[in-house]
Structure 1
Amino acid sequence: MTSVNRKDNATDLTVLGIETSCDETAAAVVRGPLQKQILSNTIRSQIDEHSEFGGVVPEIAARAHIEILDRIVAEAMHEADCSWEDIDAVAATAGPGLIGGVIVGFMTAKAIAMAAGKPIVGVNHLEGHALTARLTDDLDFPFLLLLVSGGHSQFLLVRGVGDYERLGTTIDDAIGEAFDKTAKLLGLPYPGGPHVEKMAARGDVTRFRLPRPLLDRPGLDMSFAGLKTALRTQAKKLEPVDEQTVADLCAAFQRAISDVLAARTRSALEFFQERHPDTEPVIVVAGGVAANQEIRQSLLDAANAAGARFVAPPMALCTDNAAMIAWAGIERLRQGPVDDMALSPRPRWPLDSQSAGVLGAGKKGAKV
């Protein structure tokens, strides 16, 4: 372990962040915790590389990160008008994610840190999402987090940096994954989420009645594989489906997911108020699916009904980005000792390390 060179926790730190866990190559420079400034936030998407395959191909993603990461880091440093002398530490995603991409980003960060003589902070990608609202909205602990992305759908109680309790998670598909698979089934382009949302805006939400899985059971766990299967069954009955039918199916699918998330959010807020009766209830939503306007509105309505505060970071900070990684690095640095060069990247890294993995575990660790 090493310590960053700083006087005390009242001193601002300037951190370079690197994010390569999936198909975005990103670098950012963030200053905080006092000023809370995003000095740069450079992101390069790989949508074009993966669109013909209908999803992210891990080998292609890793290769694309290798080809462009050095330039992205240089752009972020230039935009921030920073030299290496201005940087206090380097933070990078060390997991979870597609291991090829994680290795590229984290090993690059190690090389930069070693060459520049800076501390290295290995950041849990999910912790980046969890702490973003503290950068954008200056939240205090504790608060509720709904993380909804291509790979994760879970409710978490965020009690502090490194202190997380998983309250519920998907037992099968993540929401973003369900959107992408539905889009592919209906012949819509990748990435599926925005195209499903666009078609849903033109659809009749009452034409098809799709299930709301697990809502007849207690707890906060969710399931979306059955919803996707029910949609496929409806589409098969009507083959070949015309454009209006696709729109109607998208509308029904999106509404079902919105209803499930709203119901589970109400239950999560009830749990939070029971556990923390003297604390203002706050629900934070993060992850790429948070960009969906119907889902966002349903969560806002659920929060309002419960008398809770609803927080959603700006769209650019909901999806994968390096500013959240740099900020998480700052939060970690404030606690004292940080990681050393022996830290290894990992494909799996649950935020709640105490709860059993819902989807099982193996040599690489718990899946969620």
Structure 2
Amino acid sequence: MRLRPIFWTGTTCTRASIRPQWSFRRQLMTLAIETSCDDTSVAIVEKKVENGRAVAQLHFHKKVTANNAEYQGVHPLVSLRSHQENLADLVSEAISHLPPKTASRDHDFEHGGLEAQRPEAVLDVTKKRLPDFVSVTRGPGMRSNLFTGLDTAKGLAVAWQAHALTPRLVSALEPSATPTLEPDFPFLSVLASGGHTLLIQSASLNDHHLLGTTNDIAVGEYLDKVARILLPTELLQSTRSTMYGALLEKFAFEGNASQTVDSQKSKSTCNTGSAPRTSTFSSATASSSQQYLDSSSHDYTWYKVPPNHEEALKTAMTKWGWAFNQPLVTAHCGLKVNDIELSFSGLLTAVERVIGYQTDPVTRKRTKIERTLDEISLEEKKHIAREAMRAAFEHVAYRVVLALRSLASDPAPRSVVLAGGVAANSFLRHILASTLCARGFSHINLYFPPPSFCTDNAAMIAWTGIEMFEAGHTDTLSIRAIRKWPLNQLLDPVVDG
């Protein structure tokens, strides 16, 4: 009986341990677990090579989100309890979706993996193919929550003897995908979530450089806070989810914003003369940023990219006398800011003041007269929601332009990937695509993962695990969770605590 070492991977992975080469494998399958925050997610993903191209098959993918509605935010203990209550059931359900055995036992042993390491008597018990390895989120995240998933993964690895690559998973899932996974390195990643707003240069699978981030709050936290102070109480209480940014989008654009955009990429030339629109289409048929803009079910024809800062100040002014301007455009001395850093706390303060105090529409100055939310008309509330998003999203889009300019010869990224929970916002997608077109970057490919892959999910952990495993990175059973994980320590993280 040929036995092989135990294989498993904690995502993001530590330096590779010694193991056999897997480049000859025609297929790999992993069970993945994600418990970094309030989502408990399990997935089974298989990667095959068919007709010279990589193809991903999602055998199982399910997520349970903790009910944090009472706290209007993520409560660590509530989220931990949800992981403890739901993870075992999800793993059990996932196991039932493992594909049946199709190869002989000799074939299984020949190709290794967890299947090859089980005792012969145990192999006769099950009719299922076992994963080749287990993938799990090791960090960053809430440490107790991470340990719940990490310890479960270790248990599975023993019993069986065993987030920035999401768009490459989506590319492999496409039925008519090209032979090479997309996007190709190098590319620029924009991670927009409740905990992070990052601009990352991805040069290779494990070579990522942080170009810019926030010094205060993330864009997702900003949107959530705007929603909590602006939206009617009954609307906030009508959902178990704490994704208030999604509620803000729905409120701002009525029924249109509730329609999800399931597009994944757009590329080639941009005709700035046509009216911007966005819509649902498959990445296999999309070809340009302009096509993304022209194909939308969301009508944003009213939005135009301002040609300069002065024009932006004019167009931002509303009939109520208030305006939200893009942060960090000019310094106190009046000079243009070309730093890639982001900031949303000042914009949040501006929104709070517009909601809390009356503005004189003639003088366009804020008065000292306080007002309640009930005193604000529905029309003005919707404008506040739209303008609060517009200013923040223009800020992100302009930083992407600055990043692309700074990387013009480094070599220059060929693609921009938008990921994270806020990436599901169709208005953000529209503003980013429109800004790139207006600023001379129509040749840049845009990748927008489907909304279901924007938030924390085990499918992206599974795919990252597969790519890291193929590159030679595995972990021992002694690894621990990491609360904070800097990009420059991907392969050699410092374990805190």
TM range (shorter): 0.7 to 0.9
Q: Which letter maps to 1:133?
A: P
Report the equivalent of 1:121: none
| Runs of 5+ consecutive residues of structure 1 not aligned to the other structure | 119-128, 355-361
Matched, 1:130 2:164: yes
| Runs of 5+ consecutive residues of structure 2 not aligned to the other structure | 1-15, 49-53, 101-126, 172-180, 237-241, 258-301, 303-315, 331-336, 359-370
Q: Kindly tell me: are residues 87 and 4 of structure 1, through their superposed partners in 2, closer, same or farther at Cα, counting changes over 3 Å?
A: farther
State whether residues 32 and 462 of structure 2, in contact with CA within 8 Å, keep that contact through their aligned partners in structure 1: yes
Q: CA deviation at 1:86?
A: 2.4
What SS is found at the alignment partner of 1:86?
A: coil
State whether residues 338 and 402 of structure 2, in contact with CA within 8 Å, keep that contact through their aligned partners in structure 1: no
Q: CA deviation at 1:90?
A: 0.4
Report the equivalent of 2:344: 224
What SS is found at the alignment partner of 1:158?
A: strand
Q: CA deviation at 1:3?
A: 5.3
- The whole-number CA distance in structure 2 between the counterparts of 1:168 and 1:105 is 30
- The whole-number CA distance in structure 2 between the counterparts of 1:173 and 1:9 is 46
Report the equivalent of 1:171: 215
Q: CA deviation at 1:219?
A: 2.2
Aligned residue runs from structure 1 range 84-123, under 5 A: 85-118=129-162
Q: 269, 274, 285: which one pairs with 2:404?
A: 269
- Deviates most, 236-245 or 191-200: 236-245
Report the equivalent of 2:469: 333
Q: Deviations over 1:62-108 (max 9, x none)?
A: 01100010111122232343676420000100111122211111111
- The whole-number CA distance in structure 2 between the counterparts of 1:87 and 1:269 is 40
Q: CA deviation at 1:331?
A: 1.0
State whether residues 9 and 334 of structure 1, in contact with CA within 8 Å, keep that contact through their aligned partners in structure 2: no
What SS is found at the alignment partner of 1:273?
A: coil
Q: 84, 87, 91: which one pairs with 1:66?
A: 84
Report the equivalent of 1:346: 482
- Deviates most, 318-327 or 180-189: 180-189
Report the equivalent of 1:210: 324
TM-score (norm 2): 0.65
Q: 290, 313, 316: which one pairs with 2:423?
A: 290
Report the equivalent of 2:387: 252
State whether residues 482 and 495 of structure 2, in contact with CA within 8 Å, keep that contact through their aligned partners in structure 1: no
State whether residues 420 and 454 of structure 2, in contact with CA within 8 Å, keep that contact through their aligned partners in structure 1: yes
Report the equivalent of 1:125: none
Report the equivalent of 1:27: 42
Report the equivalent of 1:196: 248
The number of residues matched between the two structures is 344
Relative to its length, the structure with more helix (as a share) is: 1
- The whole-number CA distance in structure 2 between the counterparts of 1:266 and 1:43 is 35
Q: CA deviation at 1:42?
A: 1.0
Q: Deviations over 1:125-171 (max 9, x none)?
A: xxxx3011112222221111000011110000111122100010111
Report the equivalent of 1:15: 30
Report the equivalent of 1:150: 194
Q: CA deviation at 1:191?
A: 2.3
Q: CA deviation at 1:210?
A: 1.2
Q: Which letter maps to 2:357?
A: K
Matched, 1:45 2:79: no
Report the equivalent of 2:367: none
Q: Kindly tell me: are residues 108 and 240 of structure 1, through their superposed partners in 2, closer, same or farther at Cα, counting changes over 3 Å?
A: same
Q: CA deviation at 1:261?
A: 1.4
What SS is found at the alignment partner of 2:488?
A: coil
Percent same amino acid at aligned positions? Answer: 33
- The whole-number CA distance in structure 2 between the counterparts of 1:25 and 1:363 is 23
Q: Post-superposition, which runs of at least 4 consecutive aligned residues in structure 1 deviate over 6 A?
A: none
- The whole-number CA distance in structure 1 between the counterparts of 2:167 and 2:251 is 30
What SS is found at the alignment partner of 2:55?
A: coil
Report the equivalent of 1:237: 357
Report the equivalent of 1:182: 226
- The whole-number CA distance in structure 2 between the counterparts of 1:4 and 1:155 is 34
- The whole-number CA distance in structure 2 between the counterparts of 1:240 and 1:9 is 66
TM-score (norm 1): 0.87
